[in-house]
Structure 1
Amino acid sequence: MFRRKVTLSKVMIGFILSALTLSMFVPIMNLIARALSNPDKVHLLHGYEIWPRGFSLIHFQVVLSNSLVSKALLNSLFITVAGTCLSIFFTTIAAYVLTRKIVGKTPLMIFLIIIMIFEPGIVQEYMVIKDLHLLDSLWSMVLYRMINVYYLIIMMRFLEEIPVSLIEAAKIDGAGHMTMFMKIVMPLARIPLLTIGMFYAVAKWNEFFKSSIFLSSRDNTVLQVLLRQFVVERDSSALIGTADLLKNNNIAQLDFSSLKAATIVIAIIPFLMLYPIILKHYTSGVMEGGVKE
C-alpha cells in the first residue's frame, strides 16, 4: 500500500493553514451565533463562542423589516450582478482583440499599463460621472471601472493558450470574429471567466467609498454604505423603522451588538453561498473539448 511521506514542512504548512482558517471561520461563526441567539440570552455569549444561545430569527426580522435595508440590498445586488456581467463581457472581448494581430498593440498595452499604475484621482472621476449625468444613479457604480487592466492581462494570458488550430478551423468554415468569440473563446475560457468574475463581483459588492460619493439619496444607497453607518458609526437612525419596532414590541428589545451581527451576516451571506458553487468548477480543465496538437 502506498503511503505518503509526512515531513516537518508539511506539518508546519498544515498547521499554518489551519490557523488561518480558524482565524477567519471563528469570527464569522461568532457573528452568526449572536444573530441567531434568543434576545434574552445574548448576554450569555462570551468571547468568540460559535454556538448560539437558544434560537431566534428576530434580529434578522428587525433588520429586514426595514424598507431602507431591503432597498439597499436590492441596489447592491443589481450593481453586483449587472456590473459583473458587463465587466466579464467587455474584459473578455477586449482580451480577445488584444490577443489578435492588430496595429498599434504595443503602444495600446503600454497606455493601459500606465493607467493601471497611475490611477485617476477622485476629483477627476467625480467630474466624469457628473458630465455623464450619472450622479445618484446606480449605473454610475455599474459602469465604474468596468474593465480592470490587471484582470484584462490575466484573461489575455488564458486566451493565448487557446489552440490556433481552433481559430483557423473556424475561419475556414466562414466564422466571423463575433462567432468565434461567442462559440469558441467563451466556452473554452470558463475557468478564467469564473476567476475574474469572482474578483469583479467581490469588488462591486464591497465598494463603499465611491458609492458614498456617487450615490447621495437614500433610495439609491447600497448595503455597504448603510452597514458602515449602522455598524461602524453606530448610527441607529440609519435604520428607519427599527426604533419604532423596539418601542412597540417588547419581545424586540434587542441588544445592539446582535443587530449589528445580523446586519453583517446579511451583507456577507450572498458570497458565503456563492463560493462553494463557484469553486466546484475549478476542478475541471480549461481546455476540455479542445483539439490535440
Structure 2
Amino acid sequence: MRRLELSKIIIYAILFLSTLAVLVPILNLLALSLTAPGRAHLMSGLDLIPKGFSLMNYELLLSNPLITGSIVNSVWITGAGTLLNLILTSMAAYVLARTNFIGKKLVLLFLIVIMVFEPGLIPEYLLVKDLGLMNKLTALILYKAINVYYLFILMRFFQDIPEEILEAARIDGAGHFRMYTRIMMPLSKPGLATLGLFYGVFRWNEYFRATIYISEPSKWPLQVVLRQFVVRKDNTSIIGNQNNLFDSSVNFDFASLQAGTIMIAIVPLLILYPFILKYYAKGALEGGVKD
C-alpha cells in the first residue's frame, strides 16, 4: 500500500508540475495583456497579476481593421473548413466501412500511400494556381478536405455500429443516404466531435499556406497577423496610426500588445474545448480499439 500510495503521489506531482508549466505562461501573458500601458516593464515572467488593470491594449488591437478582419477570416476558414471536413470524411468513412464495391482494397491501399507519402508543396501550389484560387480563402478551406488518418479513425466508429440496426433499416426501405444521415451520423457523435476538434484546431492554427496563397493583408487569417506582429515584430501594420484614437500621453508597450494578440488567438479554442470535452474523452478511446 505504501509503495502504491507513493507512486500515486509521484504521478500527481508530475501532473501538477506539468499543468503549471503550461498554465503559468498563459496566465502570465493574460496578466501582461491586461497591464496598464507603460507598466509592462514591471512584469516578470512569473507574475500572474496585472500591474494596474487596463483593457486599453485590447481596445487598441480590436480598433484595428486588420485584427478584426483577420478574426472574421479565421472564423470563416475554421467554420466552413471544419464543416467540409466532417461532411466529406464521414461520407468517405461510411462508403469504406459499410459498403462493398469492386476495388475497395485498392482504394484503401491508395489512401494509405497518400497518408504516408503526401504530395509535395510545389504540385499543390501549381494546382491551386491553375484552379484560380490564389489570394482566395477558398484555397485554405479546400486544403486537407479529408485527412486520411482521421478517416480511418471514423471508419472504426462506423464499423462498431451493429449491423442489425442497418439491416432493420434496409428492411424498412432505407437507402444508403438515409442510413448515413439517420443512423450513422447520430450514433457517431463522439467520433464526429473528436474529429471536429482536431480539424478545428488545425484550421484555426493554419498560417503556413496562408502566407503562400494569400497576399492581401485584408484576407489574412489571424495566425498570419499574429506571426507578423509577434515573430517578425512588424508593429507598423498592427499598431499603425491607431494611437490617435487615444490620449497622446498614453504610451503603449510592444510586449503588452504582443501578449494581447496571442490571447486573442488562443481564447476561442479555450472557450470551445469544454463544450467538446465530454465527447472527446469518450471518442478518443472508442475509435482506436475493435473487439
Within 1, Cα distance between the matches of 2:74 and 2:280? 26
Q: Following TM superposition, by how much is the alpha carbon of 1:134 offset from its aligned partner in structure 2, in angstroms?
A: 0.8
- Alignment partner of 1:250: what SS? coil
Alignment CA distance shift 1:282-1:228 (3 Å): closer
Bigger CA drift: 45-54 or 74-83?
Answer: 45-54
Q: 1:244 to 1:107 in 2, by over 3 A?
A: same
The match for 1:244 is 241
C-alpha spacing 1:5/1:277, structure 2 compared with 1 (3 Å): farther
Partners of 2:3 and 2:86 lie apart in 1 by: 43
Pick closer, same or farther for the CA change 1:140–1:4 going to 2, 3 Å: farther
Aligned residue in 2 for 1:198: 197
Greater shift in the superposed pair: 225-234 or 13-22: 13-22
Compare 255-264 and 113-122 and name the one that shifted more.
113-122
Match for residue 289 of structure 1? none
- Match for residue 46 of structure 1? 44
Percent identity between the two aligned chains? 46
Shift in Å, 1:41: 3.0
- Residue 289 of structure 2 corresponds to which residue in structure 1? none
Aligned residue type for 1:138:
L
Shift of the alpha carbon at 1:217? 1.1
CA shift in 2, pair 1:143/1:49, >3 Å: same
Question: Could you list the runs of 5+ residues in structure 1 that have no partner in the other structure?
Answer: 287-293
Aligned counterpart, 2:261: 263
Q: CA deviation at 1:10?
A: 2.0
CA RMSD of aligned residues (A): 1.9
Shift of 1:5: 9.3
Distance 1:251 1:153 in 2: 59
Q: For 2:181 and 2:136, how far apart are their aligned partners in 1?
A: 31
8 Å CA contact retained: 2:194, 2:283: no
The question of whether the paired residues in 2 share the 8 Å contact of 1:26 and 1:50 is answered with yes
Deviations 1:225-264 (A, max 9, x none): 111111011011221xx24233563354111000000000
Q: Please tell me the residue identity of whatever aligns with 1:43.
A: H
Deviations 1:172-231 (A, max 9, x none): 000111101001000000001011111100111111111100111112111111111110
Q: Among residues 62, 65, 69, which one is paired with 1:67 in the alignment?
A: 65
* Distance of 1:4 and 1:12 partners within structure 2: 12
Give the paired residue count: 282
- Paired with 2:29 and 2:283, the residues of 1 have a C-alpha distance of 37
Structure 1 distance, partners of 2:54, 2:159, is: 53
| TM-score of the superposed pair, with normalisation by structure 1 | 0.92
> How far apart, in 1, do the equivalents of 2:79 and 2:152 lie?
22
TM-score (norm 2): 0.92
What residue is the counterpart of 2:83 in the other structure?
85
Shift of 1:285: 8.1
Q: Is the 8 A contact 1:245 1:252 kept in 2?
A: no
Q: How does 1:20-39 map to 2 (within 5 A)?
A: 20-39=18-37
Q: Deviations over 1:126-181 (max 9, x none)?
A: 01111111111111101101000000000011110000011001000001111010
SS of corresponding position for 1:39: coil
Partners of 1:255 and 1:217 in 2: CA distance: 27
